[in-house]
A and B are shown apart, each in its own frame.
Chain A
């Protein structure tokens, strides 16, 4: 299957490993990955901060760049959520029904990574090997906007060598929330403190999630504390393979 990657501006710029791992994983599973070079940003930050008018050209741009793609994969629950639940709304708010329809059509072919693997490609065992103690943070938008359910956990449980430990209060927000982390930095930090406490309670060496933004937040807190637990994107774990397996 030909799969277009929407890497997201955040992963492109700050977390390219998550994008590279997504490509490696899908190619290992026998699929062809393309990267439409004109892609930029889904506009989630603009929408969620209230700048819907500024997001409008980004909505139009996404619909244009990916209009001919059969399946689009996004290594981010929140960006997928924005594309699926906000793009058409933004277009309609400014009276562009034609764009809203195009945005809905593209959104229907846009999948978060675990959705693509489990629902579209029908894989739960991706042949990964990752001999580490790992805990999984489900991220709010994957959990409640996309309803990915236990798909990421099903994928992780099939990883060879992994020591997967349950995260207490997993479904509680880490406190990122985009510009929330800056506008309400104190509250965000309090939420992060509790999330880090949960992560550290698991004694995991790795905290994973399907969203670089939440990981940037949790990871930023953990390294500040020299906590000894690192954050790794779900794609990177699923892309890991035993030596020589490639």
Chain B
């Protein structure tokens, strides 16, 4: 037996590099969460939005008699994909190339950004239109483009709100979920040059303002940049799922299309996509089907972009793949159902997670991509209530992954510290006590000293670290008689 589990979890594979992109927060989760919890407007916005979408999802999932079978199929397809990821990527490369696309391989965020910047520069364009893409947020592509003098226009309404508000996305599906209509109106009035100063805060009016603002940009765009929801190894088909039509604009009208895709987004065969086209919309927007889905294979003469580039991104994904338990986080299809059912996310919002991947899946995916120590507080940002696992369309066992990553963190701290942390000492001592009935009972006697702190059966103040408990809750006063003392008195000693 070995305490060291790293032999099977790390394998020396590089994690996502520091200093580029948005996978790491500036402060630990509890600190960021405390500030978010104090924002009453945020609490109200999030509560309303997540409640709405939870109800929608439940209704459309309930319509399908084979929902559980679809989830099983989704899980099986993703497991198969990960188990042979190298072969599927080579197959995808061959299929895309055969249809006139160009495939690029990016080991990390820096390399992906450089590839995209070079591709845009080669077209001579100084602007690009972008479909909502979390992976390009992950690698900080907009910053890299800006540094190269290229303006990236976000075209998804929520991403536009975030971009114009000089803000960060806070949700996978609805990046501006933390903003309400009045805040959005203020952002538009401030940032959109030609907007009607009489703009109201009705969602329809705000949407119309965004339509007007972006239309000219769409019709004149030379370069489109997208992510991908799925890519089919067998056929070379790319798939983008959206609602507004901004995706279709970006994928259809420019002459050059650059798609950045994490290597885990691949599916083996065409029919596999049919499973995910049922799982994703119902889990994500709570619709039977999203308004628009685009599927394209390489280049089609006379229809859409005539230059197509596919950038395959690692950025820590192979390190996640090397963790046999953690690997299933790569099954994620970014539907955000786990965010919407998470009681932690609902109260603190996405920014507290520090990464572009918030919520329960972010709390496992971000540490897997960056290495646990760079996001050490995230695996603890959950009460392990399990709502995320039930909602996940590909059955990622997020609670078990959280526990697994907590264990990785504890092991790594133990390996790097010369002196164990106070928590580790406490845990080891507790385990030592609990492993022996005699020590355990002696411990109970010591614990009963807590009666000295109690008044009326309640303890109102405990010393640190348990003071965090009694800051808002009473603690129970230890009773005069433990259960086992009572049992012994009633039944005599057994065993």
Contact residues of A with B, CB < 8 Å? 7, 9, 11-17, 19-20, 23, 34-41, 43, 45-55, 57-58, 61, 85-86, 89, 93-96, 140-141, 143-145, 171-173, 175-192, 194, 216-217, 219-221, 223-224
Contact = CB atoms under 8 A, between A and B. Distances in A.
Interface of B: 1-3, 5, 29-30, 33-34, 37, 43, 343-344, 347-348, 379-387, 389-390, 400, 403, 405-411, 423-424, 427-428, 430-431, 434-437, 440, 444, 447, 458, 460, 465-466, 468-469, 471-476, 478-479, 481-484, 486-488, 491, 493-495
A210 B37 CA distance: 29
B383 A177 contact: yes
B54 to A, nearest CB: 10
B29 A184 contact: yes
B137 to A, nearest CB: 24
A246 to B, nearest CB: 14
In order of increasing CB-CB distance, the 10 nearest A-B pairs are A177-B383, A50-B406, A220-B473, A173-B385, A144-B386, A54-B431, A185-B468, A16-B483, A140-B385, A50-B410
A3 to B, nearest CB: 13
B186 to A, nearest CB: 27
B387 A173 contact: yes
A216 B476 contact: yes
A223 B431 CA distance: 31
Given A95-B1, A192-B472, A13 B385 contact: no
Contact of A185 (B29, B344, B471): B471
B486 A20 contact: yes
Contacts of A55: 431
B253 to A, nearest CB: 44
Contact of B403 (A16, A48, A188): A48
B482 A12 contact: yes
A52 B407 contact: yes
Contacts of A38: 437, 495
B409 A50 contact: yes
Given A13-B444, A144-B387, A183 B380 contact: yes
Contacts of A182: 465-466, 468-469
B344 A187 contact: yes
Given A51-B407, A96-B1, A184-B381, 18 more contacts: A12-B444, A19-B483, A37-B487, A40-B436, A51-B428, A54-B428, A93-B5, A94-B2, A94-B3, A143-B386, A183-B468, A184-B33, A185-B30, A187-B33, A187-B347, A191-B347, A191-B383, A194-B343
Contacts of B344: 184, 187, 191
Contact of A16 (B460, B481, B495): B481
Quick one: which of A95, A183, A184, A220 has the most chain B CB within 10 A? A184
26 contacts: A7-B484, A14-B476, A19-B487, A35-B491, A38-B495, A40-B440, A41-B434, A46-B430, A46-B431, A48-B406, A49-B406, A49-B427, A50-B407, A50-B409, A54-B431, A55-B431, A58-B435, A86-B403, A140-B387, A141-B386, A177-B384, A183-B30, A183-B468, A191-B347, A219-B474, A220-B474
Contacts of B348: 187, 190
Interface of A is mostly: helix
Contacts of B30: 183-187
Contacts of A86: 403
Given A141-B386, A184-B380, A186-B30, A13 B482 contact: yes
A229 B313 CA distance: 55
A95 B437 contact: no
Contacts of B407: 50-52, 93
Contacts of B465: 182
Contacts of B386: 140-141, 143-145
B406 A14 contact: no
A12 B187 CA distance: 57
Contacts of A95: 1-2
Nearest to A90: B407
B3 A53 contact: yes
Contacts of B466: 182
Contacts of B1: 94-96
A58 B434 contact: yes
A87 B447 CA distance: 26
B431 A16 contact: no
A57 B5 CA distance: 18
Contact of B471 (A11, A141, A189): A189
Contacts of B427: 46, 49, 51, 54
A41 B436 CA distance: 10
A225 to B, nearest CB: 10
B472 A221 contact: yes
A96 B1 CA distance: 7
